[in-house]
Amino acid sequence: MAEEKQSCAFRTSIGGQALIEGIMMRGPEKQAIVVRDQEGNLVEKVEDLKFIKDRYPILGVPLIRGTVNFLAAMVNGVKALMYSADFYPDEEAAQPSKFEVWLEKHLSSKKLESAIVALAVVLGVGLSVFLFMVLPTFLTGGILYFWPDFPMWGRNLIEGILKIAIFLLYLILCSKQKDIYRVFQYHGAEHKTIFCYEAGLPLTVENVRVQPRHHPRCGTSFLFVVIFVSILLSSVVFGIWPITNALLRTVVHLLLLPLVVGITYEFNRWVGRHVQDSGLAKFLTAPGLWMQNLTTNEPDDGMIEVAIRSLELVLPSEKGKDIW
């Protein structure tokens, strides 16, 4: 497979996110959004990065930095999606509702944007928590109603299987949506461009096109590992402290979530450094790479051009500053 033959000259810390007809790239110094508008032109937006860990060093400590970076990535991702969506307005939603008019009248544009971003992040986290924590916990809780003596290890196992099954079903349903398909094409373009850069090749459409579209540091892999780590950690906790009440189990899952994200982040950093030279790292990343078959599609040349430009805009001023 192409993924197995890929040999990186180095591994970069630059990462990205697919948007609506565009890509956001984030480097060590800058963040860039490049969107192809309805006229076919590339629109660029570049910002200097400010890291909260520079003001509060404790937030950059291992295990803590994972949750901080995850939340920051969600906020930046929502803002970038909103920015790209403005270039492709929904015709049916062209006329603002009375509620939207009221918000615009009583809130400044900056406050309104902050409120919308905050709401989107809360809803996104809330939906994830419900689908992958609350729902499996309450579904397995129903087993005790019919089988009161069901062993705890069995409940933990079924709960874990349900989490993975729901995650897979969610990805499959998303991949079948027509609009999402194009977003996933941009996702593939992002991965291919980063691979090309890591291989030390000139950033041309021809060089990018032949690169693999599955990357070990992808967000899809990260989310899968989050679920897998949560299964392992909760199994240990509930093995030591058996909890049968579904509501109480859900609370414990929520309390463990920052630790789960922190462990996953450190794991992701480790495999990102060693996936090319460690058989163990390759084995551990294999499931996440397979799932990228659902979240990445082969891009066209126009999408690759967007990815190349967004990467060029965030290259560090000092060579090597972005080494992973």
Query: What is the tens place of the pLDDT at every residue in 103-160?
Result: 556 555 566 566 677 777 788 778 888 888 888 888 887 777 777 777 888 888 888 8
Cα 305 to Cα 42: distance, rounded to the nearest angstrom: 9
Q: What are the domain boundaries of the chain?
A: 2-312
The pTM score is: 0.84
For residue 206, what pLDDT is reported? 97
Q: Are 232 and 159 in contact (CB under 8 A)?
A: no
For 51, list phi and psi in degrees, rounded to 5: -105, 130
Q: How far is CA 322 from the centre of its chain?
A: 20
DSSP 323: B
Q: What is the mean pLDDT of residues 68-72?
A: 89
Amino acid symbol at 217? R
* Nearest of 142, 185, 158 to residue 301 by alpha carbon: 185
For residue 302, what pLDDT is reported? 97
At 60, is the pLDDT very low, low, confident or very high (cuts 50, 70, 90)? confident
At 2, is the pLDDT very low, low, confident or very high (cuts 50, 70, 90)? very low
Q: How far is CA 39 from the centre of its chain?
A: 29
Q: Is the model's pLDDT at 4 over the cut of 50? A: no
243/277: higher pLDDT? 243
For residue 101, what pLDDT is reported? 58
Amino acid symbol at 116? I
